[in-house]
Structure 1
Amino acid sequence: MEIRPILSALLRNKTGPVLVAVQVALSLAILANALHIVSVRQAVVTRPSGVAQEDAIFTLKVGNANVNAGFNELRSSQERHLALLRALPGVAAAAQINQVPLSTSGNVTSMSTDPKREQEPVGVSYYVSPGGLIDTWGLKLVEGRAFLPAETMEIEVGKSMDKPDVVIVTRALARKLWPAGGSHVGKLVYFGGGDSSARVVGVLERLQTTTGQVDEEGEWSILQPLRRVAAGAAYTVRAAPGQRDRVMAEAEAALRKEANNQVVIHAKTFDQVRADRYRADRGLAWMLVAVSVLLVLVTASGIVGMASLWVTQRRKQIGVRRALGARKVDILRYFITENVMITSAGVAGGVLGALALNHLLVTRLELARLPPGYLLAGAAVFFVLGIAAVYGPAWRAASTSPAIATRGVV
């Protein structure tokens, strides 16, 4: 292969090759990082929440219009609502809750393993339920046990801040609190300023927080056996497979009928909660995909245009070579080799640019490091793109008769 003559020719006319190489370099640097970000966001969007069969879950937030009702009346109302929901056809399980994973807002608390607060406290999502939540959400216990009925506490919201003396933590939180490992059941955690504590009785495999942070903090959650009595209450329901929408409509109607329409009800499926939480992430992913496609198209157009110009400028040279015995495949190989050399320079610059851009994203935005696979795949894409773009003009030039080419007539 005549590498040296091709390189010499490129060095004599640097403007065009340099522009193409720079275009490839910029496109590769941006494309690799854009697709990496899309992959990272997609992984975040599809993370398991810890709730089994999310497409069967929905929640009902019920506001009692009788704001003057007392503790016993409100408590009885909550019990009636829960019993009514559990009795509906198609309801597999139901529980009273205070919040839902990925709902973007809810109750949080700080906790530590040190009562003197010398250890940095950890912020966690605080889930409470008087019973049945583990079964309703299908949460998986990897250590310990569920709560016992006798451990459930009842408080009136706004008048008491007491907490039960038992707690279930997620595995991610347990690893944060006790990095040395071992069994976590029986260990103590301290809330707030260390005035109240709870004993760990179980460890959940996973339960995402209400905000669903990207890193491990997104699974720092706790669960306590607590009934919060207030004018408003929330319930979560697991419907039988394929019956969620029907059951949700019937549940809302049944609650309104039971309260003689003296309630305000907001119903939402878990699928809707997840979609709302990750709407921005999906939008970003689609925007980056669109940018990536446009980059590839622009780069391809640039290579095709430049290749066509080079071929047109060298028609007479091609004709002379054909007259001296060069075959079509020789002409085609010349231009493809030339393009590969230019693309190689662009890919080399693109790899360096991609790594530099990724380093900036890692240090400023705490993004994960760019895997080598994206660089290799990007390089392969641009090599194939370059060859495909130059093939057409080169083949047409090689097919031109030597006599016509030397006269400069197409």
Structure 2
Amino acid sequence: MYHLECIECDQKYTKSEVIYTCKCGGLLDVIYDYSAIELDVEKLRTEAPSVWKYRALLPIEANPVTIHEGGTPLYRCDRLADKIGIKELYIKHEGLNPSGSFKDRGMTVGVSKGIELGMKTLACASTGNTSASLSTYGAKAGLPVIVLLPEGKVALGKVAQALIHGAKVLSIRGNFDEAVVLVRRLCDEEQIYLLNSINPYRLEGQKTIGHEIIDQLGLNVPDRVIVPVGNAGNVAAIYKGFKEFMKLGITQSVPKMTGIQTEGACPVTKAFKKGAEDIIPEKNPETIATAIRIGNPVNAKKALRAIYESGGNSEAVSDEELVQAQKDLAQLEGIGVEPASATSVAGLKKLVEAGIIGRDETVVCVTTGHLLKDPEEVINISAEPITVDANIEAVRKAVFSK
């Protein structure tokens, strides 16, 4: 009941083909026969939260490789909303997935599909979270994993995850975009299954973020959903999740999709502000947010289409703005996220102040990775612990000093 289809030329491919992009070079999407899909909404809402409660909308027929991903909390954040000056704000914290990022949603589907296709080895290029997630799911599936990382550009917490789960980790003397070119060639020539987000099945898992938001809001649709943008898959994927619920008659509208990048790596934002349908790649992206330090995001066209079609927006924030947002999330709401995740909140603040987002809107910000993904950054931006002697007088003096 599904097939692959090019978003550029409409060329169709069967579900049994190992293919990532169309022969014309266009991106592929998974197309379903929605008339054949039935969802019992009341039953759906009573099921335990997980990616696989939406199985009727996922392209996997066999038993999936799963470690209970999905079902992440949607926090109502009134103190942060007051500070930003907005009526109603929610944080969808994807950092509470098993490996600590939203990537697990894509990997449970992508790795399961790889097994269905008979693939024996898995691979990816990564800025960190993809490698951590693929290594985790590869270990669960009992399949070897190869990871290409840009040398010196990945947070150690993510490298540690790939290593402990047994992946073969290669540190490339180049940036992420160069690593992507290399891993694609390796996979094509050696019959290894590629699990970067250019793989259309990855995004099918990630679209369940949209499904879950609607479930968690009692089938109500927020005015806007704001997402950090790195390789640009999430904006398009989450939007697809919202569109599917509307096609099935569960909801009557979709949110405005808004993508946030950093000023040092913002090809999607630049394209949006020009009204362009595609990006001009950036050769040397640089930002403290290592997870989205990407100059040539492969899903840019899909993301831009989602933004335009939904009436959304794209903006870039400075490293200083995202660090402040990261602190605000932690200190006002108790939510610890890695730097890239905080761009959604920093972007919200910037767009509210610019009058682009209305103060009466209901907004969901997606935070994509856990604080402990990048502890070095936290140490660098925070005050050092106060060292005192081991006696009560010294402790009391330090506690009450200004």
TM-score bracket, normalised by the shorter chain, equals under 0.3
TM-score normalised according to structure 2 size: 0.20
* TM-score, length basis structure 1: 0.20
